Amino acid sequence: MGKASGKYQGMRLEDLAEAMVKCSHCAFCQAACPVFKEDLLETHMPRARMEIIGVSLLDRELSPTRRVREIVDRCLLCSSCTHTCPANVPVDDVVAAARNRLGAKSGKNPFVRLGRKKFMESRGLSGMYAAVGRSVRNRGLLPDELPPIAREPLSLAFAPGEQPHESPRRARAAYFAGCATNAGYTDTGRDVLDVLARNGVEAVLVPELVCCGMPAFAEGDFAYAARLAEKNVEALSRIEADALVCDCTSCAYMFARKIPALLGPDHPLAEKAAALAAKTAEVTDYLARLGLSAELGTLAETYTYHVPCHAKFSETLAEAPRELLTRIPGLTLIEMDQPDACCGAGGGFFLGHRDLSMAIREKKLSDIGQTGASAVATQCPSCRGFLSAPLAGKTRVVHPVTILARSMRRA
């Protein structure tokens, strides 16, 4: 990974202690926590998780037992508590920092380590690794809920640099395709580029990008997350652009909030990271703010919108796809009960907590079913994969940008 140092200066548990004592015990985080709502055990609510982290990892009143590890691990890192907290306690950072302190769990198995490293450093599997991945998948050895493995990742299918666009040019945006889009759901990436082009946005594809680092951050592997962040910040800062557009809400959350906090204010790249954070937007949020210039064609279809958990960092993100989709002639958007309730995926959380994730998903599937919509729109590829598997053959799950692209191609 070249010169990148992996030095993170923010988010040490000790530094978060000051924020942790701001917890007033109000209990409002109970209502926000998908894990608590399933377990109905206060130990598994954010207030108690922080308390346990405090007594075992900061005050050392209690040794960090296996049960402590379990309590710390049984969190989707959905960030809903953080965005509900009246005291603005960054609970998700506290949990990630506790995982960092307890030591990353995976990485014992050298094959898993290598696979993970390759995956994050080439934003998904490609070449030989993809071929191996596909064959493992074809033998039914991978969960159905994981995104597909594309024949050709976007980073190879499109030449780096400026992409063609409609005139006049209204803006210039660096496009960051997340791992799951780059090498899995490539339809999303192609549709992002198509919609940006049709709306006069010059998209720039930047070479040398790596994973945004969210999976490493979530595991508490801060050194590796910081290495990835440094590499991305350096590469993206070399480009002049009005915006950094992500298709995935979690990548956007990472760039907009987590990377500056993780690197800390004294990191040599701090200023660049902050500048990138300020111009980061998820693609529908970006388009809703910019305004559409392309015409919309008729789509006589019904959709329901599942709000990804990591949309909550932006006040406008959850409304943006609704605003754009309801402008499409003929399209009906039917709201489900609790559209912003978690689907249970939590990135890769469902791989290690299958029963819990599936129980959370049950409610979501029932809410989706009750709308009678023929398809679900959601920006998060993890939600998409996790919801697609049980809905296969019945209800499609797509990124809202794909719906916009189809409408624009019909105009």
* Positions in the binding site for another protein (CB under 8 A): 22, 24-28, 30-31, 40-43, 45, 47-48, 51-52, 55-56, 62, 65, 67-68, 71, 86-88
- 341 neighbors 347 (Cβ within 8 angstroms): no
Q: How far is the CB of 156 from another protein (least distance, A)?
A: 45
Q: Which is nearer to another protein, 22 or 394 (CB)?
A: 22
Q: How far is the CB of 32 from another protein (least distance, A)?
A: 8
String of DSSP letters for 358-408: HHHHHHHHHHHHHHT-SEEE-S-HHHHHHHHHHHTTT-EEE-HHHHHHHHH
Q: Which is nearer to another protein, 45 or 120 (CB)?
A: 45
Helix/strand/coil (H/E/C) assignment for every residue in 239-298: CCCCEEEECCHHHHHHHHHHHHHHHCCCCCCHHHHHHHHHCEEEHHHHHHHHCCCCCCCC
Residue among 331, 301, 318, 312 nearest 378 (CA): 318
Helix (H) or strand (E) holding 313: none
Q: How far is the CB of 372 from another protein (least distance, A)?
A: 17
Find the length of the chain.
411
- In the block, residue with structure tokens 């049984």: 74
Q: Which is nearer to another protein, 48 or 325 (CB)?
A: 48
d(CA 38, CA 85): 20
- In the block, residue with structure tokens 């000051």: 18
Q: What angle do CA 376, 32, 333 make, to 5 degrees?
A: 25
String of DSSP letters for 326-343: TTSTT-EE-PPSSTTS--
Cβ atoms within 10 Å of 6's Cβ, excluding its own: 16
Task: For 388-399, give one letter per residue: b (16+ CB within 10 A) or e.
Answer: bebbeeebbbbb
Q: Which is nearer to another protein, 27 or 136 (CB)?
A: 27
Q: How far is the CB of 72 from another protein (least distance, A)?
A: 10
Q: Which is nearer to another protein, 363 or 399 (CB)?
A: 363
Q: How far is the CB of 316 from another protein (least distance, A)?
A: 11
Q: Which is nearer to another protein, 19 or 142 (CB)?
A: 19
Q: How far is the CB of 410 from another protein (least distance, A)?
A: 32
Q: How far is the CB of 53 from another protein (least distance, A)?
A: 11
Q: Which is nearer to another protein, 65 or 138 (CB)?
A: 65
CA 398 to chain centre: 15
Q: Which is nearer to another protein, 99 or 198 (CB)?
A: 99
Q: How far is the CB of 106 from another protein (least distance, A)?
A: 23
Q: Which is nearer to another protein, 68 or 318 (CB)?
A: 68
- In the block, residue with structure tokens 């915006």: 243
- 249 neighbors 379 (Cβ within 8 angstroms): yes
Q: How far is the CB of 270 from another protein (least distance, A)?
A: 26
